Amino acid sequence: MLRQVRLFLFLSLFCLIGLGGIASAQLTDRQSEYYQGWVSTADRAESVIRANRASNAALENLRSEINGYREDFNKARGANTDRIQTLEGQLKALGAEPADGETEPEDIAKLRTHLEEQLNSLRVPRIISEEAFSRANGLISEIDRIIRDRQKKEMLERGPSPFNPVYWGPAWIDVKEATQSLINETVTNMRSDIVHERIRERGLGIFVLLAISAVLLLFGRKWSEKGGAFLRSLGGRGSGVWTFVVSLLRILLPWLGVLALVTAIVQTGVLGLRGTLLIQNIPYWAAIIFYFDWIGRQVYLMGASQNFKRLSAGRIRELRVYIDLLAVMLILHDLVLLFEQIENISDPTRAVVGFPIVLVTALLLLRVRQIRQLEPQEEQTDSETSRRAAGFSQLVELLRRALFILGIATPILAALGYINAAEAIVFPAVKTLVLIAALVIIRRFITTIYGWLSGQGEAARDSLFSVLVGFALAILSLPILALYWGARKTDLLEAWSRLLLGFDIGGVTISPSNFLTFVAVFAIGYTLTRLLQSGLRNSLLPKTSIDPGGQNAIVSGTGYVGIFLAALVAIVVAGFDLSSLAIVAGALSVGIGFGLQTIVSNFVSGIILLVERPISKGDWIDVNGMMGYVRDISVRSTRIETFDRTDVIVPNSDLISGVVTNYTRGNTIGRVIVPVGVAYGTDTRKVETILGEIANGHPMVLANPAPSVVFQGFGADSLDFEIRAILRDVNWVLSVKSDMNHEINRRFVKEGIEIPFAQRDLWLRNPEVLTGHSEEAKPDEDLSPTAPSAKPADLTADDLDSAGDADADADGDGR
């Protein structure tokens, strides 16, 4: 075994230092040649990185070449996985290698050697690929770092100020010469015989393209309106869906006309190098014009969102002009970049030419910010509308503040010589602002389609679907925003490739593919579980003799088992290796034992309730003084509906560990007790007979066991009787008790039997205190009017309590 470990380390060492030695011997000729090519490229890349003199374009090309190797090595890292696992299983079946001094049968030793050779031959390419993949990752990271540092240095580098008059003259000369060169090239080509011959050869095609361009530019919008009328005839009138589609056709058809026109001009060949580079950008610039104009129409003219305040017609026209001018500024900025690329102008000329565009763009942003503020505000009487607009208004206010800062800061930066920094801020800000507006429009359109198809109409705008659509659009817009603010396409591709490789959590590698596989398999399993539960609940179990509580237990148990199996199968199919999470699971078990014991107790109690079924769904129970029907038994708690039609959530542990009275366990038979009292002197046998007839005459009372009438005893005011009867359905106990009381009252009135009510005699001691003087005067007492009256005495609680012990003649016989 030690010998094999040394051999493996030896092979790995050769792979890591990139030599051909033993490692190359395990590779095919084609693989070895490919690997040597990679080593050469990697060595050249390291030299270029150390020198740090190559241009950005050269670095990008080198990066692309290295990335191609990296993708191949990444695929090779997972090659022969199944075969390697098979060989490892075969070696494991042979058992451990004999220790020093021990021998094993010759056949087994030969088989072990053969399997180890095969295993090593498969491991070597994987080891080489792993090393090469790691090296490629490092080289790409270094190249990206160099390019980012250069971009940052270029953006923060201070150049000449455009306010220096010394640079104005040369800048004007450079612009004039570039324009004159463009005109001269075009005129020279138009006089060329080669161009004339090309026009004659391609004349028909050029004519067709020009005709198509003219038709689309002249009639494109009119045709889009006619197409909208046809679409509205299909349905959905008033929903705004077809209006949105027509608005897209209004910009798509004219743009196709521009594209046809540009293609026709390029086919003629009349343009030189400068003209060709310029005209190739015209379709993109036309798309910017149409796009910005479409944004203006959708947001403010067509009411793209209820959160945007309706502006007056004058404000709308003014705002649309500003939006179109912002599009023109973006085009002029691209034109300046193209001018710098073609003519290789100086830095002062670049600053002088770019500053007016930055200044006008900043002023337009400030003006756009003030449009909403200048419009007089209207009182909003609809509180619901105000509530919906509150969140969006905060976003609008944040954007307005950002526009104010940008409108002030960027011209100052450009004036100080930081023209690159100013352009890197103001133009991405314009694109971001327009992108946000586009996202709002698209979100509203998708929500409108959902409201039309679902029949919700305008209510769909406040639904969960609308929120999810907005969230999804925001996520999808992140790469676009990154490109706007200076990220390279290779940066995004690199981030995506690293995301595909996954990330490690506790030794478990989670990648998007694994995660999506897990979600898809679990969703399928969850759906099948719910379908099985529905079939059991609605089709199969109702046809059996199982009571409703048992049916509910079976359905719930099926759901728990199905979800557990779905999660288990999803983990296995996704390829998650959870063996490395054993320590984490142990720590979680300790945490559960201390911090989650109540939840676990309720969970286990819920399982016991579903298995043992001491209570079932629909039972009438009394727990902790709360009485009602069991409506649902879940894993953690049980829901009881009281007779007041309120829901009480009881933890399952209380139902297992506490005292629970179940009135309908197993059956609905129960007893009713109806007490009644009669006056003293009534014939007790006659009362007993009447009560027995009443009990036997009720349809809910069972004949076996027969009801009974009990003479309870002699009460303080009455002779006490009770009817005790067994009902076929105890849920009707109150109705039965009410019916019996009505019948008892009717029969007692008919038979002349009195139902007494409690009477009490009140005896007062010293009643004279109530009138303020004594009714029994002494014989020698002076009762003359001039004699002083007796002083009223205070009546205390003790006097009332001891009234029963007072003299019986205190208030005479009249009481």
| The pLDDT of residue 349 is above 70 | yes
| pLDDT single digits (tens) 610-637 | 777 788 888 888 888 888 998 888 877 8
| The pLDDT of residue 134 is above 60 | yes
> 627, 642 in Cβ contact below 8 A?
yes
How many other C-beta atoms can be found within 10 angstroms of the C-beta atom of residue 357?
Answer: 22
> 633, 655 in Cβ contact below 8 A?
no
> 54, 93 in Cβ contact below 8 A?
no
Q: What percent of the chain has pLDDT over 90?
A: 20
| pLDDT single digits (tens) 395-442 | 667 777 888 888 888 899 999 989 989 999 999 999 998 898 888 888
Consecutive H or E run containing 222: helix 203-232
Residue with tokens 């011959």: 197
The two three-digit tokens of residue 747, written as one number? 């029969």
Average pLDDT over all residues of the chain? 79
User: Measured between alpha carbons, how far is 490 from 680 in angstroms, rounded to an integer?
Assistant: 105
- Out of 271-280, 459-468, 687-696, least confident range: 459-468
User: Measured between alpha carbons, how far is 724 from 406 in angstroms, rounded to an integer?
Assistant: 89
- Out of 60-64, 239-243, 468-472, least confident range: 239-243
The two three-digit tokens of residue 702, written as one number? 């069972």
User: Measured between alpha carbons, how far is 269 from 271 in angstroms, rounded to an integer?
Assistant: 5
Cα(first)–Cα(last) distance of the chain, in Å? 117
Which pairs from 343-347 meet CB under 8 Å and 24+ separation? 343/174, 343/177, 343/178, 345/174, 346/170, 346/174, 347/159, 347/160
pLDDT band at 503 (very low <50, low <70, confident <90, very high): low
| pLDDT single digits (tens) 104-121 | 788 888 888 888 888 887
- Sheet architecture: strand order including 708-714: 670-678, 719-727, 708-714
User: Nearest to residue 42, comparing CAs of 159, 131, 154?
Assistant: 131
| pLDDT single digits (tens) 51-85 | 988 888 899 999 999 988 888 888 887 777 778 88
pLDDT band at 201 (very low <50, low <70, confident <90, very high): confident
| The pLDDT of residue 506 is above 80 | no
Phi, psi for 110 (deg, rounded to 5): -65, -40
User: Nearest to residue 162, comparing CAs of 346, 355, 345?
Assistant: 355
Helix axes 419-454, 282-296, angle to 10 degrees: 60
Total length of the chain: 815
User: Nearest to residue 184, comparing CAs of 102, 243, 270?
Assistant: 270
User: Nearest to residue 260, comparing CAs of 331, 309, 208?
Assistant: 208
Consecutive H or E run containing 673: strand 670-678
Bridge partners of 641?
629, 647
Give the pLDDT mean for 752-761. 82
Residue with tokens 């197409």: 227
Question: What residues have CB less than 8 Å from 508, skipping those under 6 apart?
Answer: 576, 577, 578, 580, 581
Side chain identity, residue 45? A
Residue with tokens 């005129």: 187
Bridge partners of 633?
638
Give the pLDDT mean for 569-573. 85
Q: What global pTM score does this model have?
A: 0.65
